[in-house]
């Protein structure tokens, strides 16, 4: 695996590459990322991973500074997964001057769910992903479904801006006890880690109720929030939404997704399940 720190070096290495598949990450790689790398191999001839902790998508007070940086271990995992090129720029390579132009998703995608609790987050994500697309020029780019709203924002950005890039979503990978893999799981204490799978169980119950014919989505959301609160969580939202655009569904809509975000101690976890 070749490692590139500069845009110029990466571009030179990819000059004759065909059908590039890109997996953007912020590092601290787990099996969910590795599954995306393997999926990338089946979509592209040349697989490029990027590791860049993007300051622009963190709000003041969020975990930008303490976000786990595990570069050496990440390189070993990427090489073992058969990745051809790793782009791992320093901050000054991506943001050599304050970023003046941004990609701003429309409010109906940006200000809901995660965006309501993390204002500006998707503007930061869309901006850095657009920059990575311009740098790597992939034919395909892969993102995990665990960040469901992020995947929707990027799909819509690619469609609205006519980017010649196929956006592929990879399934969420879970630990044996059902907890969705996430770099932030590492922040959990041992008792919190034991409690954390409840989030997935709670949304599974909502999914099962909908599959069984319950269309009182708001009632199901309230019940699920109450269950989390009773177990000591601080939920931001449990939401039944249309999978396509994450807007509120009319009753009897098919193609739904249940999304959740909740704090356990000082760690904020998100999860979702398609119905």
Q: Provide the annotated active-site residues.
A: 33
| Closer to ligand PAF by Cβ: residue 60 or 213 | 60
Give the shortest CB-163-to-ligand PAF separation in angstroms. 15
Single residue of 37, 44, 48, 54 touching ligand PAF by CB under 6 A:
54
Listed ranges 23-31, 77-85, 159-167, 223-231: which one lies at the site for ligand PAF (CB under 6 A): 23-31
Listed ranges 24-32, 63-71, 195-203, 260-268: which one lies at the site for ligand PAF (CB under 6 A): 24-32
Positive/negative CA dihedral, 19, 23, 24, 26 = negative
First-to-last C-alpha distance (Å) of the chain = 39
Q: Cβ of 98: how many Cβ atoms within 10 Å?
A: 5
Q: Is 26 in the site for ligand PAF (CB under 6 A)?
A: yes
| Closer to ligand PAF by Cβ: residue 46 or 182 | 182
Q: Cβ of 123: how many Cβ atoms within 10 Å?
A: 18
Q: Which parts of 161-250 fold into alpha helices (H)?
A: 190-195, 198-211, 217-230
* Angle, in degrees to the nearest 10, between helices 31-43 and 71-80: 40
Q: Give the containing element (helix H, strand E) for 135.
A: helix 121-136
Give the shortest CB-140-to-ligand PAF separation in angstroms. 15
x/- track of binding to ligand PAF for residues 146-185 (CB under 6 A): -x--x-----------------------------------
Sequence-ordered list of residues with C-beta below 8 angstroms from that of 163, at least 6 positions apart, any chain? 133, 157
Listed ranges 62-70, 122-130, 242-250, 258-266: which one lies at the site for ligand PAF (CB under 6 A): 122-130
Q: For residue 252, what are the β-bridge partners?
A: none
Q: Is 138 in the site for ligand PAF (CB under 6 A)?
A: no
Residues near ligand PAF (CB under 6 A): 24-26, 54, 57, 125, 128-129, 147, 150
């Amino acid at each position: 695996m070749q490692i590139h720190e500069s845009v110029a070096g990466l571009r030179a290495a990819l000059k004759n590459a065909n059908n590039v598949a890109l997996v953007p990450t912020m590092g601290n790689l787990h099996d969910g990322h590795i599954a995306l790398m393997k999926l990338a191999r089946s979509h592209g001839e040349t697989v490029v991973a990027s590791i860049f902790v993007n300051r622009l998508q963190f709000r003041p007070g969020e975990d930008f500074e303490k976000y786990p940086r595990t570069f050496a271990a990440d390189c070993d995992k990427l090489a073992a997964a058969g990745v051809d090129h790793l782009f791992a720029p320093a901050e000054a390579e991506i943001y050599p001057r304050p970023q003046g132009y941004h990609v701003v998703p429309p409010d109906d995608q940006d200000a809901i769910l995660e965006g309501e609790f993390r204002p500006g987050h998707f503007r930061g994500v869309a901006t850095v992903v657009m920059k990575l697309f311009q740098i790597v020029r992939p034919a395909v780019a892969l993102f995990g479904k665990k960040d469901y709203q992020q995947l929707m924002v990027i799909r819509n950005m690619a469609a609205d801006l006519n980017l010649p890039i196929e956006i592929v979503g990879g399934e969420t990978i879970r630990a044996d006890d059902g907890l969705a893999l996430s770099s932030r799981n590492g922040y959990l204490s041992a008792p919190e880690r034991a409690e954390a799978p409840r989030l997935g169980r709670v949304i599974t119950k909502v999914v099962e109720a909908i599959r069984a014919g319950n269309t009182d989505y708001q009632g199901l959301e309230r019940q699920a929030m109450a269950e989390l609160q009773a177990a000591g969580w601080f939920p931001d939202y449990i939401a039944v939404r249309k999978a396509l655009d994450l807007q509120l569904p009319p009753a009897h809509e098919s193609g739904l997704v249940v999304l959740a975000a909740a704090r356990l101690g000082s760690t904020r976890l998100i999860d979702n399940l398609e119905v």
